[in-house]
Amino acid sequence: MQKSNKPIAGYHLLMILSSVDGEFAPEEGMIVQQYLADEFPFRTNLDDELDTLAMLKPEEWKSHFEFHAGCFYEDSTEEERKNFIRFAKTLIKADDKVTDEEHSYYTLLKKNWNISNN
């Protein structure tokens, strides 16, 4: 896999977080749209990224998630990672239910980034 820059890596992380429970809720879509607006001030084509995500089998999600967590980590400051974790928490809570799968990936992200509280 080719290394991604921080905004693209964040997009992959959020898309997987929003999909691991088996559904992509409209509320989660709004959170992802907010991320895109914040991280991509100019219109950007994410079709290739979406295609990559769509082709993943559920058993590939974790390794893909961990890879992009590493990409994000390499290009970010500690404060940016903490902000992203808060944003990710908002995402998984957006549909008013946090599944075991969502919580598992969220805690995996915190563990990979050595973030204990948020």
Tokens of 18: 């929003």
Is residue 22 within a helix (H) or strand (E), and if so which, with residue range?
Answer: none
In tens, the pLDDT along 47-89 reads: 899 899 999 999 999 999 999 999 999 999 999 999 999 999 9
Residue 36 lies in a domain: yes
Tokens of 81: 């990672």
What type of residue is 79?
A: E
Residue 117 lies in a domain: no
Is the pTM higher than 0.85? yes
Q: How many domains does the chain have?
A: 1
In tens, the pLDDT along 11-45 reads: 999 999 999 988 888 899 999 999 998 988 777 78
CA angle 77, 79, 81 (to 5 degrees): 75
Residue 92 lies in a domain: yes
**CATH number, domain at 48?**
1.10.3680
Report d(CA 91, CA 15) in Å as an integer: 10
Per the rule left: phi > 0, alpha: psi between -120 and 50, beta: everything else, 84 is: alpha
Domain that holds residue 20: 6-112
